[in-house]
């Protein structure tokens, strides 16, 4: 086994036994880390692998959350069915945006703006859908929190932790496989030089659409998790551009296009942000927006000193 595999197995083992030693607060922070690691991984498929910058991934998280949430809220159908609907809707939405953009040669910054636009008008649109609660939000019934009800994905925090661990580990495995597949090679070729990729026989339109579809469907799952973990959904929050930024900060700081970057980035950011919140509470300070300022500062430092992200640097130090 390679060093990388040994270290990864150790980490997985550690995460598996973690709930046995942690308190409820540490468990919630760990769940949040895994949530961002997973969602960052999903975003990374599109930007890191295929080079298509989305700044509107909150759209897919939101659509996924509302799709599964509404099925549960109105019809009592649990997330195991809802997740498929969520993935289908998000993949479709992603393909629609991708089709519009790639068909008409919109790329780079303009493509990113298009993704923001879709997220924004969906946010505004959802404010007017009364069936989904409108601006007042949709609230999923919260059952007792001590029994594990896997069928309806209801249970104690530790159940959510393991679900998220499974998702994050699964996404890492899937992405690792994708990156080494023909599709992964084609994505990277498109990312590095689209014209040359096309000259080598790659149908760039189709492969870019595939990247968007896979990335948005993966993000849908994180939305479903969000709905059933937090039990309340507001368009103003879940479709907000700040959510999109939160999603991409992990992979950007960890290393865009790397497999472990999103995981490392999510861990660093979440831990530091929680640390700062704790510190300010202890000091009795109340500064609104301090977390955002901190995110901005971290991004600045990473961009200045490690523009490829922290993971490539760490990987080199660990001789992976």
Partner 1 sequence: MTPLLDIRSVSKSFRGLKAVSNVSFPVPQGSIVGLIGPNGAGKTTLFNVIAGAFAPDSGQVVLEGRAIQALRPDQVCAAGIGRTFQIVKPFPGLTVLENVVVGALHRTGSVREAEEKSFQILETLQLAEKCNLPASTLTLPDRKRLEVARALATRPRLLLLDEVMAGLRPTECDQLVEVFRRLNGAGLTILLIEHVMRAVMKLAQDIVVLHHGEVVARGAPAQVVRDPAVLECYLGEETEV
**Binder among 2, 130, 131, 195 for partner 1 (CB under 8 A):** 195
As given in the structure block, the two tokens for residue 144 are 């007792």
- Does 199 sit near partner 1 (CB under 8 A)? yes
Residue with tokens 């523009």: 307
Residue nearer to partner 1 on the CB measure, 199 or 304: 199
Distances (CA, A) of 32 to 27, 59, 168: 9, 19, 11
Residues 231 to 260: which contact partner 1 by CB under 8 A?
A: 257
- Does 198 sit near partner 1 (CB under 8 A)? yes
**Binder among 9, 181, 242, 281 for partner 1 (CB under 8 A):** 181
Asked if residues 141 and 12 have their Cβ atoms less than 8 Å apart, the reply is no
**Binder among 87, 175, 202, 273 for partner 1 (CB under 8 A):** 202
CA 44 to the chain's CA centroid: 9
Give the range of 62-70, 116-124, 202-210, 230-238 binding partner 1 by CB under 8 A: 202-210
Residue nearer to partner 1 on the CB measure, 197 or 263: 197
- Does 188 sit near partner 1 (CB under 8 A)? yes
Q: What is the DSSP letter of 48?
A: I
Residue nearer to partner 1 on the CB measure, 203 or 277: 203
Q: What is the DSSP letter of 134?
A: G
- Does 17 sit near partner 1 (CB under 8 A)? no
Residues 33 to 52: which contact partner 1 by CB under 8 A?
A: none
- Does 180 sit near partner 1 (CB under 8 A)? yes
As a whole number of Å, the end-to-end CA separation of the chain is: 12
CA 35 to the chain's CA centroid: 7
Q: What angle do CA 37, 270, 12 make, to 5 degrees?
A: 45
Q: Is 95 exposed, middle or buried (0-12, 13-18, 19+ CB in 10 A)?
A: middle
**Binder among 201, 284, 288, 289 for partner 1 (CB under 8 A):** 201
Residues that bind partner 1 (CB under 8 A): 180-182, 185-186, 188-189, 191-193, 195-204, 257
């Amino acid at each position: 086994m390679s060093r990388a595999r040994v270290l990864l197995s150790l980490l997985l083992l550690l995460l598996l036994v973690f709930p046995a030693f942690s308190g409820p607060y540490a468990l919630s922070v760990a769940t949040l880390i895994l949530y961002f690691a997973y969602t960052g991984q999903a975003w990374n498929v599109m930007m890191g692998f295929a080079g298509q910058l989305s700044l509107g991934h909150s759209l897919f998280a939101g659509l996924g959350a509302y799709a599964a949430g509404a099925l549960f809220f109105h019809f009592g159908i649990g997330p195991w069915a809802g997740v498929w609907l969520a993935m289908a809707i998000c993949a479709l939405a992603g393909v629609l945006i991708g089709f519009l953009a790639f068909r008409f040669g919109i790329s780079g910054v303009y493509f990113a703006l298009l993704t923001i636009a879709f997220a924004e008008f969906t946010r505004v649109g959802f404010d007017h859908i009364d069936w989904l609660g409108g601006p007042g939000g949709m609230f999923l019934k919260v059952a007792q929190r001590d029994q594990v009800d896997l069928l309806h994905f209801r249970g104690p925090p530790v159940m959510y932790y393991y679900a998220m661990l499974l998702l994050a580990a699964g996404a890492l495995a899937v992405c690792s496989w994708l990156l080494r597949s023909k599709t992964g090679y084609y994505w990277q070729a498109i990312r590095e030089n689209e014209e040359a990729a096309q000259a080598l026989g790659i149908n760039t339109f189709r492969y870019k659409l595939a990247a968007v579809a896979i990335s948005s469907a993966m993000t849908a799952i994180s939305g479903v998790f969000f709905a059933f973990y937090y039990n309340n959904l507001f368009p103003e929050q879940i479709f907000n551009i700040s959510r999109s930024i939160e999603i991409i900060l992990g992979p950007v700081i960890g290393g865009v296009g790397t497999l472990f970057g999103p995981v490392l980035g999510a861990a660093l950011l979440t831990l530091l942000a929680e640390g700062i919140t704790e510190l300010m509470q202890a000091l009795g300070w109340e500064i609104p927006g301090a977390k955002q300022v901190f995110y901005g500062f971290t991004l600045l430092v990473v961009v200045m000193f490690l523009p490829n992200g922290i993971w490539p640097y760490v990987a080199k130090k660990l001789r992976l």
